[in-house]
Amino acid sequence: MAMQMSVSISSSSSAFLNQSSLTFRSERVGVPPKASGACKCVATEPAEKTAFTTKVSRNANMGKLQAGYLFPEIARKRNAHMLKYPDAKVISLGIGDTTEPIPEVITSAMANRSYALSTLEGYSGYGAEQGEKALRTAIAATFYADLGIEEDDVFVSDGAKCDISRLQVLFGSDVSMACQDPSYPAYVDSSVIMGQTGQFSSDVGKYQNIEYMRCSPENGFFPDLSSVARTDVIFFCSPNNPTGASASRDQLKQLVQFAKDNGSILVYDSAYAKYITDDSPKSIFEIPGAHEVAIETTSFSKYAGFTGVRLGWTVIPKQLLFSDGFPVAKDFNRIVCTCFNGASNISQAGGLACLSPEGLKAMGDVIGFYKENTNIIVDTFNSLGFKVYGGKNAPYVWVHFPGRSSWDVFAEILEKTHVVTTPGSGFGPGGEGFVRVSAFGHRENIIEACRRFKELYN
Ligand SMILES: Cc1ncc(COP(=O)(O)O)c(C=O)c1O
């Protein structure tokens, strides 16, 4: 896999080098030493050839996956760059990991819960697989007050990405799926792993059997539903990672109606809903009728810096039924009980603290900080004459480099500025020509990265 990736990057990079007036010193742009080392290993090491093999065939669906999962690939390229330039101050605005400390009102609750585990009275082992009642109640009250969602509709988890995979296990391999193009890669990759798709068609950059719903500046980043084929499941993320676009109430009404007309299930990822500043809905359950067609999955990761702590939740209303009338939530409960033993009790204490009045204020402050970062990045690219999207309701800025390969732009920015971004095409063919710049960073790093962008593109 490392070989596939490095080959495709190096060839597209050299195409770029031919066109570009910029002077690239390195003929190895985008070809990490580590990746080429891996290629060599696979291709030539005799030990590999004589290695013992089991009689177990590889899961054919795994074999369909292209290269590695996007973000570890980016991390590998960043590490290779750091090896190449050991003295460079590399700034990561790529993977989208949070950087600011978790407010103390939240960490102290986790510390207390942790210390309590050392006492007879405070010790607890396995908890409810669906999450602690107090947290489920607080989530329902905080995010879904008056939206007809009850505490037992909420399944607490170790994060939205894990829930996306558990939802795929719930649906099984016989469903068809649609997702936005571009979109967060976990939907497509988990669908491939589950066997819902055909092979990857490299000419179009798509897997067979997935309905890619193109979201571009031309359609305001909302798909033209009249040209979208029916699928069983529709993954939809708003505010969207990577484009930063959020769907309006009117658009979500159309989406819910589309799901209803087709008898589809909508999996709505609202991991960035708290970044919304305009009147875009923060939950799909604000839309009448959504309870009969939608699941919502979301996370504390980008709200409270819980990317390492791990805590999220999924809402499945009782009204959501399979074609035979069986409640989807009941099957999901079975999956959760079989494949998961509940979120860490320490994380859940943190989650509960997040939802206290002080916790909510502290989370709001951190989100406000990242939103200021976003404004700095947006202003920078605007001032350089780029077309910039997103940023308003999401911590991601989607910068257009028309006619250019996004992997080449990623390599150019890394090579020339030591700033890691994310190539748009890593999120699907619709991301080609764009680069995602994340606003998760210390302020001085954001300012320095923007200074370097200005130096490169002025
Ligand atoms: C749209 C979206 N959904 C889900 C996740 C994963 O969240 P978690 O950290 O809760 O697994 C991310 C993380 O970047 C994301 O961007």
Q: Is the peptide bond before 239 cis (omega within 30 degrees of 0)?
A: yes
Tell me the C-alpha to C-alpha distance, in Å, between residue 97 and each of 82, 126, 147, 458: 18, 29, 30, 28
Asked if residues 239 and 246 have their Cβ atoms less than 8 Å apart, the reply is yes
Q: pLDDT digit of tens for each residue in the chain (458 aa)?
A: 333 333 332 222 222 223 333 333 332 323 333 333 333 333 344 456 689 999 999 999 999 998 777 888 898 999 999 999 999 999 999 889 999 999 999 999 999 999 999 999 999 999 999 999 999 999 999 999 999 999 999 999 999 999 999 999 999 999 999 999 999 999 999 999 999 999 999 999 999 999 999 999 999 999 999 999 999 999 999 999 999 999 999 999 999 999 999 999 999 999 999 999 999 999 999 999 999 999 999 999 999 999 999 999 999 999 999 999 999 999 999 999 999 999 999 999 999 999 999 999 999 999 999 999 999 999 999 999 999 999 999 999 999 999 999 999 999 999 999 999 999 999 999 999 999 999 999 999 999 999 999 999 99
Compute the distance from residue 185 Cα to the ligand 1 centre, in Å.
10
Can you tell me the distance from the alpha carbon of 298 to that of 159, in angstroms, rounded to the nearest whole number?
7
Residue 298 CA to ligand 1 centre (angstroms) = 8
Contact 213, 228 (CB under 8 A): yes
Q: Tell how far the Cα of 311 is from the centroid of ligand 1, in angstroms.
A: 11
Beta-strand pair 265-269/233-237: parallel
In this predicted model, what pLDDT tens digit does every residue of 194-234 receive, in sequence order? 999 999 999 999 999 999 999 999 999 999 999 999 999 99
Residue nearest to atom 16 of ligand 1 (CA): 241
Reduced to 3 states, what is the DSSP secondary structure of residue 360?
Answer: helix
Number of H-type helices and E-type strands within the chain: 16, 15
Torsion, Cα 341 343 344 346, to 10 degrees, reads -150
CA distance 396 to 398: 6
Q: What CATH number should be reported for the domain whose range is 61-100+360-457?
A: 3.90.1150.10
Question: Residue 433's CB: how many other CB atoms inside 10 A?
Answer: 18
φ, ψ of residue 336 in degrees (nearest 5): -60, -40
Q: What is the pTM of this model?
A: 0.89
The helix/strand/coil state of 86 is: coil
312 lines ligand 1 (CB under 6 A): yes
Residue 160 CA to ligand 1 centre (angstroms): 5
Q: Where are the domains of the chain?
A: 61-100+360-457, 104-355
For ligand 1, is residue 184 a contact (CB within 6 Å)?
A: yes
Q: Which CATH architecture has domain 104-355?
A: 3-Layer(aba) Sandwich (3.40)
